Amino acid sequence: MIIIGERINGMFNDIGEAIKNEDPEPIQEWAVKQVEAGADYLDANVGPAVEDSPEVMKWLVEVIQDEVDAPVALDTTNVDAIEAGLEVHEGSAMINSTTAQPEKMESILPLVAEYDANVIGLAMDKSGVPKDAETRTAKAMEIIANADARGIPMENLFIDPLILPVNVAQDHAPEVLETIQRVKKLADPAPNTVLGLSNVSQNCNNMKLINRTFLVMAMAVGLDSVIAEANDEDLIDAVATAEIVLNNDVYCDSFLNQFRKK
């Protein structure tokens, strides 16, 4: 299970402030904390406090990678900011994200190929989040076909079937599970799948319980990675346990610790 730590996001006050004041410390603290908790990638999102510019993204990537070895998920809709981040990024970055919209793919996928990066492909286009699994799968297929045509290997592609909050869009959750299952059959080798997990519980009660329950269900149908709160101990415990039950990791008595050490 690939865990993308969500915490370095300008939507959080401490990060927003840090970006505004160009203070690397809170960002680096969260980078270390998330990696220690088991995060494989660190999502980086400038947030609303300052302008989403190439300079800020470049600064964010450098600040993070000065402190930890982990790759960064460049979380922005600004293509210039993505490119600026890729230029300074060490190792294989992740781009968060493209949709199935042709112009969007046209601008993002060449960067993916050029920098040998990974990319999250949202199973939607300009008409918004699809209602059913069929349409989601169709959008995923468009991204897969375009990525393949540009020589992007399937393991670099992360299809996000887009989960919505269960309180207001309850009927979407089963469709998302169905989509994950279908996407894993669209190519051989199959593309990766990813979820922006915290979305499922927005404005609900018992958010963390909803998050980890849904995550385990999604893993059972083929989820490969997740953007989530890496420092939610119960969530990481649930992931580690699901990996054992799915026979992805070899069981040992210290499996909870072992998962975090990987």
Partner 1 sequence: MAVEIAKQNWDGQVEELTIGATEEEGGTRTSTVTVGGETTLPFLHFEGEIPNKPVVALEILDEEPKDWPEPLAEVWGDVWDDPAKWAKKCVEEYGAELIALRLTSADPIGQDRSAEEIAETVEEVLDAVGVPLIILGCGDEEKDNEILKAAAEAAEGENLLIGFAEEENHSTIAAACMVHDHNVIAQSPVDMNICKQLNILLTDMKVKTNQIVIDPLVSSLGYGMEYSYSVMERIRLGALRDDDMLAMPMINFIGEEAWDVKETQASEEEKPGWGELSTRGIQWETAMGTTVLQGGADILVARHPESKENIEAGIEELMTESSYE
Cα separation values, 216 from 7, 70, 233, 242, Å: 21, 24, 14, 6
Alpha carbon dihedral 131, 3, 211, 221, in 10-degree steps, equals: 60
d(CA 17, CA 19): 5
Q: Is 189 in the site for partner 1 (CB under 8 A)?
A: no
Q: Is 185 in the site for partner 1 (CB under 8 A)?
A: no
- What is the nearest approach in angstroms of partner 1 to the Cβ of residue 15? 31
d(CA 242, CA 154): 24
Q: Token digits for 61?
A: 């990537």
Is 103 or 261 the residue whose CB approaches partner 1 more closely?
261
Q: Is 52 in the site for partner 1 (CB under 8 A)?
A: no
Binding residues among 218-237 for partner 1 as defined by CB under 8 A: none
Is 143 or 152 the residue whose CB approaches partner 1 more closely?
152
Beta pairing class for 192-196 and 225-228: parallel
- What is the nearest approach in angstroms of partner 1 to the Cβ of residue 253? 5
Number of other residues whose CB lies within 10 A of the CB of residue 49: 16
Is 229 or 243 the residue whose CB approaches partner 1 more closely?
243
Q: Is 103 in the site for partner 1 (CB under 8 A)?
A: no
d(CA 76, CA 98): 10
Binding residues among 239-258 for partner 1 as defined by CB under 8 A: 249-254, 257-258
d(CA 110, CA 63): 26
- What is the nearest approach in angstroms of partner 1 to the Cβ of residue 129? 34
Binding residues among 111-130 for partner 1 as defined by CB under 8 A: none
- What is the nearest approach in angstroms of partner 1 to the Cβ of residue 251? 5
Q: Is 148 in the site for partner 1 (CB under 8 A)?
A: no
Nearest to 108 by CA among 68, 141, 152: 152
| Binds partner 1 by CB under 8 A, chosen from 20, 150, 185, 262 | 262
- What is the nearest approach in angstroms of partner 1 to the Cβ of residue 23? 36
Residues 232, 207: contact at Cβ < 8 Å? no
Number of other residues whose CB lies within 10 A of the CB of residue 196: 20
Contact footprint for partner 1 (CB under 8 A) = 249-254, 257-258, 261-262
